[in-house]
Amino acid sequence: MSYQNPVFIPGPTNIPESVRKACDMPTIDHRSPAFARVFKPAVAGVKKVLGMAEGEVIILPSTGTGGWEAAITNTLSPGDTVLAARFGMFSHRWIDMCQRHGLNVHVIETPWGKGAPLGDIAAALKADTGHRIKAVLATHNETATGVKSDIGGIRAAMGDHSALLFVDGVSSIGSMPFDMAGWGVDIAVAGSQKGFMLPAGLAILGVSPKAIAAMETAKLPRTFFDFRDMLKSYATGGFPYTPPVGLINGLAHAVQLLDDEGLEAVYARHARIAEGVRRAIAAWGMVPCAVSPDLYSDTVTAVVVPAGCNGTDLVQLAASKYGVAFGVGLGEVAGKVFRIGHLGSLTDVMMLSGLATAEMCMADLGWPITLGSGVAAAQEYYRNGAKEAAKAAA
């Protein structure tokens, strides 16, 4: 791999130079007021990105997976029932984690390429007259298939059920609109290495008052991830253990960059780049794994490869010959797709280089491709189509 080339995987994403420098800082006393001056703007910025009206932000030295574990261990007890749809690798992994923790998981099996099934979720909750289901798990953006789900629709489908709503927003938060307050999300889970454009190492959670109240009766074991310890220390501007100060300083800078660009502009940039990628895919004669446009993700596209081709071959060739990273297919779509990540610190021009590399790999592998076809389609959209879309939306 070449460190000079951008990556086109759905995380970790490209790190802006100013963010990298913000993480590179001298040692400070993490129990001094100097740490609070780093920590408080990071928390405030995360609240804005999540669309929080109340509740707390919890920042843990971990990754999104640790954030999932913190969400369930702080709010649930052994034997509790949770509801989840399985429609991709990351929804599957969250289900697996719950089962390993001794939770009873009501799984709604859903074809990969589709989103969270609102009707099935509503039916399962309506049938739960005793409110045995304590939490609904939802993956906002299924990174394996490039599918986004309707989180507001899930909350509406829950009706007046008392279950908590936990959302995996690891590959969406900071890149796609997220409305924690408006959608009624109780715990939102993000990671530092995607929309926040940092190195991996932070699990970032938004926690509602309802979820905070659930901590007091939750019986699953937790120590390092205990929200109670975190919140007690936060009250004095500190951490219950040694924090990753450099990453938190980088987070404070990253949320400032997002705010400077403007969140609506950030989301529009991601939508524009993603649509250019989809125009390129269509020009190649291929389709996204997501089965309909309403499900298309603005952060990652899983490209279904032609019959007789293997998506993993393209990913491996791109890395070995051109020093460029794409994502392999995972789980049920392994080999059937390759994934183009288009989130974080990315521009139209950077994306064009990724599309050109993918075309060269296809030609090298003997796939049916006309060099330049996808790049031209994306160029046309980036030059003109985005303006037309903006006019149509006005």
- Are 159 and 119 in a shared domain? yes
Residue finishing a domain among 231, 260, 289: 260
Sole residue written with tokens 């070449």: 2
- Are 242 and 157 in a shared domain? yes
- Are 246 and 298 in a shared domain? no
Contact present, 176 and 267 (Cβ < 8 Å): yes
The CATH number linked to 118 is 3.40.640.10
* DSSP for 99-166, written as a single string: HHTT-EEEEEE--BTB---HHHHHHHHHH-TT--EEEEEEESEETTTTEE--HHHHHHHHTT---EEE
Give the Å distances, CA to CA, from 69 to 76, 99, 197, 283: 11, 11, 22, 42
pLDDT per residue over 143-202, tens digit each? 999 999 999 999 999 999 999 999 999 999 999 999 999 999 999 999 999 999 999 999
- Are 41 and 160 in a shared domain? yes
Contact present, 230 and 58 (Cβ < 8 Å): yes
Query: What is the average pLDDT across 203-213?
Result: 98
- Are 116 and 181 in a shared domain? yes
Give the pLDDT confidence score for residue 388 in this predicted structure: 61
Distance CA 124, CA 137 (A): 13
pLDDT per residue over 276-333, tens digit each? 999 999 999 999 999 999 999 999 999 999 999 999 999 999 999 999 999 999 999 9
Q: Is the pLDDT of residue 64 over 90?
A: yes
Query: What residue type is 201 in one-letter code?
Result: G
211 assigned to some structural domain: yes
271 assigned to some structural domain: yes
Q: Is the pLDDT of residue 137 over 70?
A: yes
Q: Which residues pair with 166 in a beta bridge?
A: 137, 187
Give the pLDDT confidence score for residue 174 in this predicted structure: 98
The rounded mean pLDDT for the chain is 95
Tokens of 186: 């109780």
- Are 66 and 157 in a shared domain? yes
DSSP state of 30: T
149 assigned to some structural domain: yes
- Are 269 and 255 in a shared domain? no
Query: What is the average pLDDT across 215-235?
Result: 94
